[in-house]
Amino acid sequence: MGPETAPPPKLPCIDLSSDELIPGTPLWDRTVAEVLRASVEFGFFEVVYPAIDVSERRVMFAKLAELFALPLETKWRNTHDRPYHGYIGGPPNNLLYESLGVDLADDMEVDRFTGLMWPQGNPGFRVMEYKPPEPSPDAVINLKSHTDTNFITVLCENSGGLEVLVDDGSGGTFAPLVATMPGSLFVFIGDAFMAWSNGRLRSVPHRVVLREDKPRLSTGLFMLPEGGWMIEAPEDLIGDENPRRLYRPFEYFDILTRCYANPVKNMSGQQVFNELLRL
């Protein structure tokens, strides 16, 4: 048997598709309140945002499949001195998960990346491919449970497999994130945002489990703070609920390095924040 997963509960889904979603309108204020509530209660939400239409997504995922089909030697060219920014996965480490990162993905960086990989353009996102287990009678965890260390992650995926830890009143169970609309994106609050918000927003453990005999492709936009700055919760977020700062000031890349310094690959970001920074 594969890892256990709960049936899908009602998870937050926020509609950002309306042209009338303009700052200052009641619709804007209601939507902001929904985003805040989902970030506090769940630490993630689905976004209905059909700006990338279904056919564009199909083209993008076909390109990504070509990208991951490149020889390993080509993908290895995408190196980076920061953990989790270059190429990850592939043999001999993990046959079931691969990812390629493009840092500060402006036009120049995307050109540099595509120059390494390909002559044509590609979106400047970290892209992930998960291979189904072979043969695949059972579900297999392709990406183990973790919280994201950064501020905000936006995921765009071609098929299911993503699961989040939801509170079931007895320590939590993993529930599949099933997109309610074909154009949906998934947004996750990361540990750095949790600490910056003085523990108000939640960073939620999630994982990837493939149950179908079909590879999963996913692109992620990972919003990180700039290096070299000390980050701490603003005064406004110290109040009735949390009358003092919960986390020490931190420099983001120092924390990221500590997450990956652990020999058993990584302490989860949440563990690092809680063990090293919690006041």
Ligand X SMILES: O=C(O)CCC(=O)C(=O)O
Catalytic residues: 216
User: Any contact of residue 185 with ligand X (CB under 6 A)?
Assistant: no
Q: Which residue is nearest to ligand X (CB)?
A: 218
Q: Which does 162 bind (CB under 5 to 8 A by kind): ligand X, Fe ion, none?
A: ligand X
User: Any contact of residue 157 with Fe ion (CB under 5 A)?
Assistant: no
- Looking only at the bridges linking them, the beta strands covering 13-15 and 162-166 are unpaired
Q: How far is the CB of 12 from Fe ion (least distance, A)?
A: 17
Q: Residue 156 or 246: which CB sits closer to ligand X?
A: 156
User: Any contact of residue 191 with ligand X (CB under 6 A)?
Assistant: no
- In the numeric block, the tokens 């902001």 are attached to 32
Report the SS3 class of residue 233.
Answer: coil
Task: Choose the binding region for ligand X from 4-12, 155-163, 230-238, 255-263 (rule: CB under 6 A).
Answer: 155-163
User: Any contact of residue 162 with ligand X (CB under 6 A)?
Assistant: yes
Q: How far is the CB of 228 from ligand X (least distance, A)?
A: 24
Q: Enumerate residues 115-134 that contact ligand X by CB under 6 A.
A: 128
The sign of the torsion formed by the CA atoms of 179, 86, 205, 270 equals negative
Rule CB under 6 A: choose which of 132, 133, 215, 220 binds ligand X.
220
What is the C-alpha separation between 154 and 86, in angstroms, rounded?
Answer: 18
Q: Residue 67 or 233: which CB sits closer to ligand X?
A: 67
Residue type, 161: G
CA–centroid distance for 102 within its chain:
14
Q: Is 148 exposed, middle or buried (0-12, 13-18, 19+ CB in 10 A)?
A: buried
Query: How does DSSP assign 93-139, residue by residue?
Result: TEEEEEEE--TT-SHHHHHHHHHHH-SS---SSEEEEEPPPSS-SS-
Tokens representing residue 259 in the block: 């997450």
What is the C-alpha separation between 64 and 253, in angstroms, rounded?
Answer: 28
User: Any contact of residue 148 with Fe ion (CB under 5 A)?
Assistant: yes
Size of the residue set binding ligand X (CB under 6 A)? 10
User: Any contact of residue 155 with ligand X (CB under 6 A)?
Assistant: yes
User: Any contact of residue 157 with ligand X (CB under 6 A)?
Assistant: yes
Which residues contribute to the site for ligand X (CB under 6 A)? 128, 143, 148, 155, 157, 162, 206, 208, 218, 220
Which residues contribute to the site for Fe ion (CB under 5 A)? 148
